[in-house]
Structure 1
Amino acid sequence: MNTRGLHPAERVAEYTAKGWWSEETMDGLFRARVAAEPDREALVDPADKQDLVGSPPRRLTWAQVDDEVTALADVLLAHGVEAGDVVGLQLPNTVELVTAYLALWRIGAVVSPLAVQYREHEVGELGRLAEFTAFVTASRFGDRDLAADVRRALPELDTVFAYGPSGDVEIGGPAAPGARERVEAHVAEHPADPNDCVTICWTSGTESTPKGVPRTHYDWLAMSWATVDAPRLTRDDVLLNPFPMVNMAGINGMFLPWLRVGGLLVQHHPFNLPVFLQQIAAEQATYTVAPPALLSMLLARPDLLAATGIGSLRLIGSGSAPLPPAMVRGWQEEHGIGIINFFGSNEGIGLMTDPHDVPDPEERARYFPRYGTPGVTWTSRLSEQINVKLVDADGREVTEPGVPGELRLKGPVVFPGYLGGDLLPSPFDEDGYLKTGDVFVIAGADDRFLHYVDRAKDLVIRGGMNIAPAEIEGLLAAHPGVADVAVVGYPDEILGERVCAVVVPAEGAAPELADLVAFLRERKIASYKLPERLELREVLPRNPVGKILKREVRADVLAGKESA
Structure 2
Amino acid sequence: MKATRHDDEEARRLVEAGHWAGTLIDEHLAAAAGEAPDAVAVVDRGRTWTYGELDDAVDRFAAALRRRGVARGDVVSWLLPNWAEAIITHLATIRLGAVSNPIIPIYRHRETAFILRQAGSRVVVIPQLFRGFDYPAMIDEIRPDAPALAHVVVVGDDLRGDHVRFEDLLEEDRAVPTDEERSAGDIALLLYTSGTTSAPKGVLHSHHTLEHENRSIIDFFSLSAADVVFMPSPVGHIIGVLYGMQLPFMLRTSVVLLDVWEPGTALELIERHGCSFVVAATPFLHGLVHHPSLADRDVRALRTFACGGADVPPTLIRAATSALGCTVSRGYGSTEYPTATACNETDPLDRRAGTDGRAIGQARTRIAPDGELQVRGPELFLGYLDASLNVEAFTDDGWFRTGDLAHIDDQGYVEITGRQKDIIIRGGENISAKEIEDELAEHPDVADVAVVSSPDPVLVERVCAVVVPRAGADITLTTVVDWLTARRLARQKLPESLLLTDELPRNASGKVQKFLLRDLAREHAPQGVTR
* Same fold, judged at TM 0.5 (above): yes
CA distance in 2, matches of 1:562, 1:93: 32
CA distance in 2, matches of 1:450, 1:318: 15
**1:65-464 to 2 correspondence within 5 Å?**
65-155=54-144, 156=147, 157-164=149-156, 165-166=158-159, 168-173=163-168, 175-176=170-171, 179-181=173-175, 183=176, 185-186=177-178, 189-296=179-286, 298-300=288-290, 303-358=292-347, 360-371=348-359, 380=360, 382=361, 385-393=362-370, 405-422=371-388, 425-443=391-409, 446-464=410-428
For the 8 Å contact 2:63–2:174, the answer to whether it is kept is yes
Equivalent position amino acid for 2:30 in 1: R
> 288-297 vs 164-173, which deviates more?
288-297
**Normalised TM-score (structure 1):** 0.88
Equivalent position amino acid for 1:42 in 2: A
**1:552-563 to 2 correspondence within 5 Å?**
552-561=516-525
Given the superposition, is the C-alpha separation of residues 123 and 321 from structure 1 closer, same or farther in structure 2, using an over 3 Å criterion? closer
Q: Could you tell me which residue of structure 1 aligns to residue 484 of structure 2?
A: 520
Q: Could you tell me which residue of structure 1 aligns to residue 28 of structure 2?
A: 29
Listed one character per residue, the Cα deviations across residues 92-121 of structure 1 (whole Å, up to 9, x for unaligned) are 000111111011111111111111111111
CA distance in 2, matches of 1:300, 1:139: 33
**1:462-473 to 2 correspondence within 5 Å?**
462-473=426-437
For the 8 Å contact 2:453–2:463, the answer to whether it is kept is yes
Listed one character per residue, the Cα deviations across residues 395-432 of structure 1 (whole Å, up to 9, x for unaligned) are xxxxxxxxxx2111222111111112136633111111
CA distance in 2, matches of 1:65, 1:286: 22
**Normalised TM-score (structure 2):** 0.93
Given the superposition, is the C-alpha separation of residues 5 and 195 from structure 1 closer, same or farther in structure 2, using an over 3 Å criterion? farther
Equivalent position amino acid for 1:391 in 2: A
3-state SS of paired residue (1:123): helix
3-state SS of paired residue (1:33): helix
Given the superposition, is the C-alpha separation of residues 4 and 449 from structure 1 closer, same or farther in structure 2, using an over 3 Å criterion? closer
1:350: Cα distance to partner? 2.3
1:563: Cα distance to partner? 9.9
Equivalent position amino acid for 1:159 in 2: H
Equivalent position amino acid for 2:435 in 1: E
CA distance in 1, matches of 2:326, 2:357: 21
1:137: Cα distance to partner? 1.2
For the 8 Å contact 2:441–2:449, the answer to whether it is kept is yes
Q: Could you tell me which residue of structure 2 aligns to residue 53 of structure 1?
A: none
> 503-512 vs 247-256, which deviates more?
247-256
Equivalent position amino acid for 2:10 in 1: R
CA distance in 2, matches of 1:277, 1:351: 29
CA distance in 2, matches of 1:205, 1:30: 34
> 245-254 vs 94-103, which deviates more?
245-254
3-state SS of paired residue (2:404): strand
3-state SS of paired residue (2:384): coil
1:252: Cα distance to partner? 2.3
For the 8 Å contact 1:4–1:195, the answer to whether it is kept is no
For the 8 Å contact 2:29–2:249, the answer to whether it is kept is yes
1:175: Cα distance to partner? 4.4
Listed one character per residue, the Cα deviations across residues 58-77 of structure 1 (whole Å, up to 9, x for unaligned) are 21000000111122112211
Equivalent position amino acid for 2:304 in 1: L
1:60 corresponds to which of 30, 49, 52: 49
CA distance in 2, matches of 1:45, 1:176: 20
CA distance in 2, matches of 1:423, 1:563: 38
Equivalent position amino acid for 2:374 in 1: R
1:281: Cα distance to partner? 2.0
Given the superposition, is the C-alpha separation of residues 288 and 560 from structure 1 closer, same or farther in structure 2, using an over 3 Å criterion? same
Give the CA RMSD over aligned residues.
2.1
CA distance in 2, matches of 1:160, 1:293: 33
For the 8 Å contact 1:206–1:470, the answer to whether it is kept is yes
2:438 corresponds to which of 471, 474, 484: 474
Listed one character per residue, the Cα deviations across residues 335-379 of structure 1 (whole Å, up to 9, x for unaligned) are 421103221101115233333331x211112224554xxxxxxxx
CA distance in 2, matches of 1:459, 1:560: 20
Q: How many residues align?
A: 522
1:38: Cα distance to partner? 1.1
Q: Percent identity?
A: 32
Listed one character per residue, the Cα deviations across residues 467-507 of structure 1 (whole Å, up to 9, x for unaligned) are 11111111111111111111112122222221111111112
CA distance in 2, matches of 1:289, 1:448: 22
Given the superposition, is the C-alpha separation of residues 542 and 270 from structure 1 closer, same or farther in structure 2, using an over 3 Å criterion? farther
CA distance in 1, matches of 2:299, 2:358: 33
CA distance in 2, matches of 1:285, 1:544: 55
Given the superposition, is the C-alpha separation of residues 123 and 322 from structure 1 closer, same or farther in structure 2, using an over 3 Å criterion? closer
Equivalent position amino acid for 1:45 in 2: D
CA distance in 2, matches of 1:507, 1:424: 43
For the 8 Å contact 2:433–2:451, the answer to whether it is kept is yes
Where in structure 1 are there 5+ consecutive unaligned residues? 47-56, 372-379, 394-404
CA distance in 2, matches of 1:109, 1:291: 29
